[in-house]
Amino acid sequence: MAGAGGDPIELVNLSLDFSRPSSQQASREGERSSLLEIHIYLPDLTFLALMIDQHTQATEIMDMIIATLGLNPTEARHVLSLWLVSADLQLQLKPNHCPTQLFGKWPVYLRKYTSVSPKTAAIQKPLVHLKRNVYISREEDLKVKDNEILELLFTEARCNIMDGTYPCDRDLLIKLAGLLCAVQYGPFNEEQHTIEFYKSVHSIFPLSVQSNTKLLDEYCQAVEFAHKKFDSLGKQPTGDTLNDESRLMTAYQTYLSSSHVLPYYGCVFFDGYIESTNKSFLHSSWLAVQIGTNTDGIYIISTEKEEPLLGILYEELTWEYVEMCTCSSAECHHNTSSTTGAGKLQPRMSRKSKHLKGDKIAAMPSLLLQYPASPDEQSEGVKFQVLRVYTQSARLIDAFIDNCSETMKEKCLCSPIPTPEVAVFQSATVASKDCVDTPKFPVSVPQQSADSTHTRESLERSIKSLRKPNKLLCQSFTKDGKCVSI
């Protein structure tokens, strides 16, 4: 790919490929005197100030962070990563990337991979964040032994829940709020921890709850019981009290394991649009969404209502990446597309041209997501559904999904007794392997055990519960590939 002025730019799997010329490498020591101060933001938005030069790589910065915070080097390099983050785009860096050399390219990445205006792209600047590595599985969070790293993971999860990035239902929010009270305000005290006390605390509920007086009253009444329940965190089975540090680490692990019930835990999110079923003279036919991807699947979340609309495990997913086109014809989009994924969509969608208010949205690159129909739909002859998601970040998401599907294929090949569904997934992935020209990143595959199998079953149930077909404008196909909805 080429950016402004023909400069070579390559973004693959959410990461930037930027190599330093050998001549610069040779003269690096001579330029060490020209040091720059860089701020590394932690999940709680505090930052570390480090001195680097323009050729300092991400792996060297990580070494500085490890030394400054006293982290376990092996765990830190595996679980954590450096990211470039701005208001409209976030990208995880590879070890050999030089952040200072990428800052100047940010407007190019914004224009290519987001929908912001050229004016916004020109002034928006990225910050360097230390965040969870998106390529590790959620099970690996709880294997962390380093207390400081565990606290960083806990803080990131808490912030994502508080700002609505991870939408939660009532019961989970109350459970997590009770745990936060136990962490921040100690064991439940009947005289101190009243409903009025919980109302005055601004760090245990998301803004969507805090801004709703009626909802806040209800939640604060319920959090009292949840606070009492977590008092047991400070007790050992023998009845002895844990020391403060052990109690805190237990609380962090409990918070993380509770957050893991959210299918979109650990996702990286991108802005996008889908066609809405709520079409009228007063309403737009487009619905702004967040597209989240992690090592388990892909998720569609309503931006306005912070409501999950769809979740698809990679085992169930077939997808197609569609290049950007300036015309509004869906058929034209398909004719210019490049196919990747667990299998080529057969048959391709065929939709009549129609006038769209959002011409700019319709011209964006897109992803066609194919997934099995619900049991009720299958009883009516519908085999699968296809949803089209429009996003400037389609190429990044496509590369990430492809990488994770390859990992799932390897995991399936290692399974002693593959199921029929797994066998289909394997063959479809192998068939499309040559369509991808991006390098593979190491995605961790957890070992199968009784606990992980149970976790997987819970995840599958949770993802299926996200699907809200009445809010998604999908195409329905029979097992013979016949489209039964337009």
Three-class DSSP labels, 312-378 = EEHHHCEEEEECCCCCCCHHHHHHCCECCCCCCCCCCCCCCCCCCCCHHHHCCCEEEEEEECCHHHH
Q: Are 204 and 339 contained in the same domain? A: no
Q: pLDDT at position 414, please? A: 61
Q: Are 465 and 328 contained in the same domain? A: yes
Q: pLDDT at position 19, please? A: 41
Distance CA 459, CA 260 (A): 9
Q: pLDDT at position 33, please? A: 52
Tell me whether residue 141 is in a domain: no
Tell me whether residue 417 is in a domain: yes
Q: pLDDT at position 411, please? A: 64
Q: Are 285 and 242 contained in the same domain? A: no
Q: Are 431 and 465 contained in the same domain? A: yes
Q: Which of 209, 231, 259 is the last residue of a domain?
A: 259
Instruction: Select from 329, 3, 306, 356 the least CA-distant residue to 160.
Output: 306
Tell me whether residue 149 is in a domain: no
Domain count, the chain: 3
Q: pLDDT at position 71, please? A: 97
Domain interval for residue 59: 4-135
Q: Are 255 and 282 contained in the same domain? A: no
Distance CA 361, CA 366 (A): 9
Tell me whether residue 148 is in a domain: no
Q: Which of 221, 239, 259 is the last residue of a domain?
A: 259
CA angle centred on 153, ends 149 and 155, rounded to 5°: 115
Tell me whether residue 486 is in a domain: no
Q: pLDDT at position 331, please? A: 41
Distance CA 190, CA 194 (A): 7
> Does the bond joining 375 to the residue before it have cis omega, within 30 degrees of 0?
no
- Contact in structure between 484 and 333 (CB atoms under 8 Å): no
Q: Are 424 and 302 contained in the same domain? A: yes
Q: Are 298 and 326 contained in the same domain? A: yes
Taking the model in full, what pTM does it have?
A: 0.78
Q: What stretches in the chain show pLDDT beneath 70?
A: 1-33, 231-243, 278-284, 324-358, 408, 411-456, 469-470, 485-486
DSSP annotation string for 55-66? T--HHHHHHHHH
Rg (CA), the chain: 24
